[in-house]
Amino acid sequence: MQYTRLGRTGLQASVAGLGCGGFSRLGQGTGRSEAESVAVVGRALDLGINFLDTAHNYGTERIVGKAIAGRDRDSVILSTKAVITRDNALRPADAVIAELDQSLRDLAVDAVDVFHLHGVAPWALEPALESIVPALERERDKGKIRWLGITETAPNDPGHDMLPRAIASDRFAVVMVAHHMLHQSAETRVYPVAIEHDVGTLVMFAVRVIFSKPGRLQETMRDLAARGIVSAALADDPDPLGFVVREGGARDIVDAAYRYCRHQRGADVLLFGTGSIDHLERNVASILAPALDAAALDTLRETFAHLEGVGLDAPAPAVKPS
């Protein structure tokens, strides 16, 4: 495993981080038993992954707690989260703190290393800085939290409006950002600001269904070409990213997707979710592989750097009511 300094936290985090939510929720979303999910976390730890990212609303905190029981607490970096809005309104700070306390009980720990405000819409940042963040800072002073973090709601904020402002506030030591081969905007809008403020970054969405579901990439290219957003030639290309998969290059599109994000300057920990040990091991191998070659990177950026929000599986926009 390779490790990196997670911004001003000083934590030495594995470059591969196990995400305990997403579609699989450690396999709980696909019918795995609790014991199987615990085994996935255990195998991740055995491979050297020390960054585990979960959340109260994932329903996996107890599984993580069981998986880390008996291990040296200092050998694991625990990251969890609480949503701060309901029905386009800010939640009371005491409700967020109650969720933090429940997370501590479910994880069976006295403190978490990073506690995130989860999926913060652009309109919610400033109100949260006024009411929720000070309350969480008091909990941090009590020893329940080591560092505060914040995550964006990628489908509803594809231009990263919120994160640069959150970073500039200097209230957060870690941020979670969406980044992938066809959604490259974090490279210019988030990572430089994070580097300037010495804020650690967690990368989500490196692999989405656009890369993993057969036919989805081609379908997306046809749609974008019809709207004049990409070259018409891509609409007829049966393998639009074939240039990254070749001898000496990536073994497949998923491998390329992980390697693309992993070696971006400013990207610290690459998160992925899985309920399968085989899948876990393949993902770790990709994240630890060398960067894509310069020619492939140049083509990816020349062809797709202008795209925004592609492949984020967007729901209805989350906007502040008028």
Task: pLDDT band for 313, please (50, 70, 90 cuts).
Answer: confident
61 within 8 A of 106, measured Cβ to Cβ: yes
pLDDT (mean) for 210-218:
91
Does domain 3-205+265-277 fall under CATH 1.20.120.450? My reply is no
Task: pLDDT band for 208, please (50, 70, 90 cuts).
Answer: confident
Task: pLDDT band for 320, please (50, 70, 90 cuts).
Answer: very low
pLDDT (mean) for 65-90:
95
User: Facing residues of 271 across strands?
Assistant: 17
Q: What digits encode the pLDDT tens for the residues 1-55?
A: 999 999 999 999 999 999 999 889 999 999 999 999 999 999 999 999 999 999 9
Residue 248's pLDDT is 76
**3-class DSSP assignment, residue 180:** strand
Whether 316 has a pLDDT exceeding 50, the answer reads: no
Can you give the pTM of this predicted structure?
A: 0.94
Residue 22's pLDDT is 87
Nearest 5°: the CA angle 84, 85, 86 is: 135
Alpha helix positions (H), the chain: 34-46, 61-68, 93-107, 125-141, 162-168, 186-189, 191-197, 209-212, 216-226, 232-235, 253-262, 277-287, 294-304
Q: What digits encode the pLDDT tens for the residues 112-150?
A: 999 999 999 999 999 999 999 999 999 999 999 999 999
